[in-house]
C-alpha cells in the first residue's frame, strides 16, 4: 500500500489481465522490470466471478511492489450477446470443440476501447495484451490492434501503444516463461462448477494441454476429470 504522504506511483505499462494463464504470465514477467497497472474488464460473462477471484489471488501471490492495485472496469455485454452460452452457461463448447467455437463476437473491441481510454486518462503509455500468434480470431490480429488503438488515440489526441509480446510465441513457450509463478491461481474455465474448473469444456482442454506440452505439473483441481485431485468443494 502506498504511504499517504507519497505520490501515487505511475505505471510504466498496463496489462489487460483476464485471470487466464497467458495474461497472468505477462503480468508476472513485466512486473519483474517495470511498474505495471493490471486492468480487468467485467463483461458479465458466466465465469467472471471465479476468474476475477483467481486474478486477485494471482496478483497477490506474485507479491511484487511493481504491481499497482487492480483496476476493474465494467463493460456489460448481456444487452449485446443475449442468450449466448457465454452468458447463460448452457451449451458451452466442450472438450473436443475447435478454438473457433469459443469466439465471442468483437469482444476485444469491448475490452480494448475502455482499457485504452483508461491508460490515456492515467498517463500510461503502453497497454500489454497476451494473445498468441495461433489465436484464430479476427479481433486478435496485429492489424486489428493497431487500427483500434490508432482510432482510440485519434479520439482523445492520445498516444497509447498496444504491445503484444506473445504474438510470435507458442503456448508451450509462454508456459515455460511462467515456470515458478503461482499458476494455480489462474483460471481458464468457461463452465465452472462449484468455483472449480469443470475439466470438460473447450478452455479446460486447452489448459490441460498447455501444462502437458510444457511438461509442467498441472496444479488445477478439476470438478470432473479422471485423475484430478479429489473435489472437496
Residue span binding Zn ion (CB under 5 A) among the ranges 28-36, 122-130, 131-139, 184-192: 184-192
Least Cα distance to 24 among 56, 1, 72 occurs for 56
Q: Shortest gap between Cβ of 201 and Zn ion (angstroms)?
A: 3
Distance of alpha carbon 108 from alpha carbon 169, whole angstroms: 20
Q: Shortest gap between Cβ of 96 and Zn ion (angstroms)?
A: 13
Instruction: Rule CB under 5 A: choose which of 129, 160, 196, 198 binds Zn ion.
Output: 198
Residue span binding Zn ion (CB under 5 A) among the ranges 34-42, 82-90, 108-116, 183-191: 183-191
Q: Shortest gap between Cβ of 193 and Zn ion (angstroms)?
A: 8
For position 204 contacting Zn ion by CB under 5 A, the verdict is yes
Instruction: Rule CB under 5 A: choose which of 25, 104, 189, 214 binds Zn ion.
Output: 189
**CB closer to Zn ion, 120 vs 191:** 191
Distance of alpha carbon 58 from alpha carbon 53, whole angstroms: 9
Q: Which residues contact 171 (CB under 8 A, 6 or more apart)?
A: 22, 132, 134, 206, 209, 210, 213, 214
CB atoms within 10 A of CB 188: 25
Which residues are registered as beta bridge partners of 196? 193
Q: Which three cell numbers stand for residue 188?
A: 481458464
Q: Which three cell numbers stand for residue 102?
A: 469459443
Residue with C-alpha cell 506511483? 9
Element (H, E) at 189: none
Distance of alpha carbon 60 from alpha carbon 89, whole angstroms: 28
Element (H, E) at 16: strand 13-16
Q: Shortest gap between Cβ of 134 and Zn ion (angstroms)?
A: 20
For position 21 contacting Zn ion by CB under 5 A, the verdict is no
Residue span binding Zn ion (CB under 5 A) among the ranges 30-38, 130-138, 167-175, 201-209: 201-209
For position 201 contacting Zn ion by CB under 5 A, the verdict is yes
**CB closer to Zn ion, 94 vs 182:** 94
For position 205 contacting Zn ion by CB under 5 A, the verdict is no
For position 160 contacting Zn ion by CB under 5 A, the verdict is no
For position 115 contacting Zn ion by CB under 5 A, the verdict is no
Q: Is the separation of the CB atoms in 136 and 100 below 8 Å?
A: yes
Q: Shortest gap between Cβ of 190 and Zn ion (angstroms)?
A: 6
Amino acid at each position: 500500500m502506498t504511504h499517504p504522504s507519497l505520490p501515487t506511483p505511475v505505471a510504466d505499462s498496463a496489462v489487460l489481465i483476464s485471470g487466464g494463464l497467458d495474461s497472468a504470465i505477462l503480468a508476472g514477467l513485466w512486473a519483474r522490470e517495470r511498474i505495471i497497472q493490471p486492468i480487468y474488464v467485467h463483461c458479465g460473462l458466466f465465469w467472471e466471478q471465479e476468474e476475477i477471484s483467481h486474478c486477485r489471488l494471482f496478483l497477490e501471490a506474485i507479491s511484487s511492489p511493481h504491481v499497482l492495485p487492480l483496476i476493474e472496469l465494467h463493460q456489460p455485454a448481456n444487452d449485446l450477446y443475449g442468450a449466448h452460452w457465454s452468458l447463460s452457461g448452457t451449451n458451452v463448447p466442450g472438450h473436443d470443440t475447435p478454438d473457433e467455437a469459443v469466439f465471442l463476437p468483437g469482444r476485444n473491441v469491448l475490452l480494448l476501447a475502455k482499457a485504452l481510454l483508461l491508460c490515456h486518462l492515467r498517463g500510461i503509455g503502453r497497454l500489454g495484451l497476451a494473445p498468441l500468434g495461433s489465436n484464430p480470431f479476427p479481433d486478435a490480429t496485429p492489424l486489428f490492434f493497431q487500427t483500434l488503438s490508432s482510432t482510440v488515440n485519434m479520439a482523445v489526441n492520445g498516444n497509447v501503444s498496444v504491445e503484444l509480446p506473445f504474438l510470435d510465441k507458442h503456448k508451450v513457450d509462454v508456459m515455460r516463461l511462467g515456470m515458478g509463478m503461482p499458476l494455480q491461481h489462474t483460471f481458464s474455465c468457461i463452465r465452472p462448477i462449484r468455483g472449480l474448473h469443470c475439466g470438460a469444456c473447450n478452455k479446460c482442454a486447452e489448459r490441460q494441454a498447455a501444462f502437458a506440452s510444457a511438461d509442467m505439473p498441472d496444479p488445477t483441481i478439476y470438478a470432473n476429470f479422471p485423475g484430478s485431485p479429489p473435489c472437496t468443494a
